[in-house]
Structure 1
């Protein structure tokens, strides 16, 4: 028996189920490189799929892509897959799906467990931090990184530290755009540190960019921080919170970077409206995942209050369509701040 939706604004349970399957398939296709192959070649043939340890059975590949045909992302015949009418949109937004199912799949599947207070002690959840780092880069590539490039082109930095450096691609791109710049990356996740270190070495920039394991809540004084005039932080500022901890972190950044002249902080803020038919991509997943993790998501007003208390002056705020709710705060140390 088919369940029908009570109104045009509410999806049927059939659609909800099929959509969840398509999300998992899309995330897998991203990680396996299938979407990139379709983008680059315009066709993905099922026979002769890779050799050795990376070989995939043709029937498996076709089966994996079948939910994407349902979603209109690809079209299939017996031999190959080709981009469907929804391919370009799905490819542009692939980072959100990989973030949800790839990076946070284990967290979401454990929601009933982590929801109980008796389990919310210590490290009570896991995420695939490599997938989180890669998907965050994909999300940022649409708008965020273009804004960073423009800001830094208008006023080139001398040395940059990226807090929560993730995949390392931001530092690599900045160093490539500005040959005289030195870069420092800091990340808490060992998987992200390993990924960014490898990426930096493969880019041939290990002599200009160093990557360190570190926690923003306890940033140490490091020799590499001297001379850093620009600090960046993208999609991890909410990890500074709640409020008292955030103010402490923001003050500590001024202390450990004695030569900092600006702090470019980009994050997704908590929505203050109820979800509905117009709720954009990412919002529900972002807020649910962080609720499960016990992470406080600040609003725009919360950030402004914390900046003022921590001795940072906000010179400008830029808004993003992708990701929805994304803001870029352009900060500088307030004159006379202790």
Structure 2
């Protein structure tokens, strides 16, 4: 890939998008286009179309989405379905209209059926029902995957979808109302340590989850950028998982909280297990580099150093 190619990173201020930009810049890419949501509302089809015609990017990386954990998905199903479809449809359709040569669409492991065999293979897509607590987001992302597949099939263009496992890292969302499990735990344990209090966590602690540090995800995107991937859909992860209880105990140890952990089993667990089969990416030459404990330490360090970002945190 020519380092001067114009690359538009949608969602560049988010955890994933900012990591992608950092990796691109580290590798010498000099023509990265970035627009904030105030500068460009990706839900506005006309605005997106006009932006693409003006900027004429060579490559589009779609890291823009409305995201959140179980609570947010349950409380705002319409927004999670509609806004994500609007964002991705506008980006994909506008890219096709101006003949963008490469499009990388980012989704989530939640696109796979709730009770699919483990580990999750790409071919399990649409073989059974989804996890109800995040089906709205999943349905939106599935439609994006299929749109990119349709473009490959009909127009022969290099549009590829990468489905990461649970992501975490620097620039994560630590808002307890909308965050995912790992950053929410970091904040809970940190505040409990300061207040010498127990930590209450949702569910039983028995579900198993796989976690990928966001810089590794960003490197997989650049890998897809610099190579022509032969298929339309690829899982991105570590290939290993831990129970939520093990995750909590690891975070507790790193944060330095010594109090009690209380599990509220009246709250939902979500999908029992979501381990990704990442053999397709491994076979092409990509592999993650940052282990879970190292990644949690990096994330906690960033959280501590950026307290001004979290105005709602009462220290």
- Is the TM-score greater than 0.5? no
Greater relative contact order (Cα < 8 A, sep 6+): 2
Larger radius of gyration: 1
- TM-score, structure 1 normalization: 0.31
TM-score (norm. length: structure 2): 0.33
